[in-house]
Amino acid sequence: MNVNGKARWTCRTHVSKVAVNDALEIAPLSNLPVIKDLVTDMSDFFDKWSRARGQFSGSRSRHDDFARVSPESAQRKAADAGIECIGCGVCYSSCDVVTWRPDYLGPAALNRAWTLVNDERDTQTLERLRAVAGDAGCHSCHTQATCTERCPKHLSPTAGIAGLKRMTMKAAREGDL
C-alpha cells in the first residue's frame, strides 16, 4: 500500500523508517482499481504478466534429465538478478508511465519477461520479444528508475527493460520482429 505517498512493502517495513513527524498516512496502491478501503484489484497487473508471456515454456519432459545451466553464464546471472520478484506491485504502483497509459505492461511484467529471455531452457524467446516490443511494451519506459528505487527486493526492472530494448532492437534489425 502507499505510506506517506510512496508505495511500500508494508508487512516488512518498520514504522520508524517511514513515519513523518510521527504520523503515517495509509492509502491503497496507485495505478490499480480500489475494491474497498486498502484493497486493490490486481487482475490487470497479473494479466500483463500473461500478455508479456511471463510463463516458462521449456522443451523437456519429466522423463528427461535435468537441464544444466552454468551459474557462471552471463544469461544465468541476468536471470538470477531479476528472479526474486514477489509480485507485490510496488514498482507498478510507482510507475508514471502506467499512470499515463494504462495499457503499458509495466516494470514487473517486463522484469519477468527479461528473466525468461535469459533462461537458456526456455523456447519462446522470439514470441516473448514480440509480446514486449509493441507500443505498450519496453520502449515506453522512460528509464527514470522509480521502480528500481522502490522495489523492496532490490531488483532492477529498469535494467531488465533496458536489456529488452536492446534485444528487441537487435531482433528487429535482423528482421525477426
Q: Give yes or no for residue 153 binding ligand SF4 (CB under 6 A).
A: yes
- Locus of grid cell 536492446: 166
Cβ proximity to ligand SF4, 65 vs 100, nearer residue? 100
The size of the interface with ligand SF4 (CB under 6 A), counted in residues, is: 26
- Taking residue 49's Cβ as centre, other Cβ atoms within 10 Å add up to 20
Span near ligand SF4 by CB under 6 A; candidates 31-39, 113-121, 122-130, 149-157: 149-157
Which residues are CB-neighbours of 163 under 8 A, at least 6 positions away?
Answer: 78, 114, 117, 118
- Show the binding pattern over residues 100-119: x = contacts ligand SF4 (CB under 6 A), - = does not: -------xx--x--------
Q: Give yes or no for residue 2 binding ligand SF4 (CB under 6 A).
A: no
Q: In one letter, which amino acid is 141?
A: C
Q: Give yes or no for residue 91 binding ligand SF4 (CB under 6 A).
A: yes
Footprint (CB under 6 A) of ligand SF4, residues 125-144: 141-144
Helix (H) or strand (E) holding 2: strand 2-3
- Locus of grid cell 521449456: 58
DSSP category for residue 158? H
Nearest to 169 by CA among 123, 137, 121, 124: 137
Beta bridge partners of 35: none
Cβ proximity to ligand SF4, 105 vs 129, nearer residue? 105
**Which positions touch ligand SF4 (CB under 6 A)?**
85-91, 94-95, 97, 107-108, 111, 141-147, 151, 153, 155, 157-158, 161
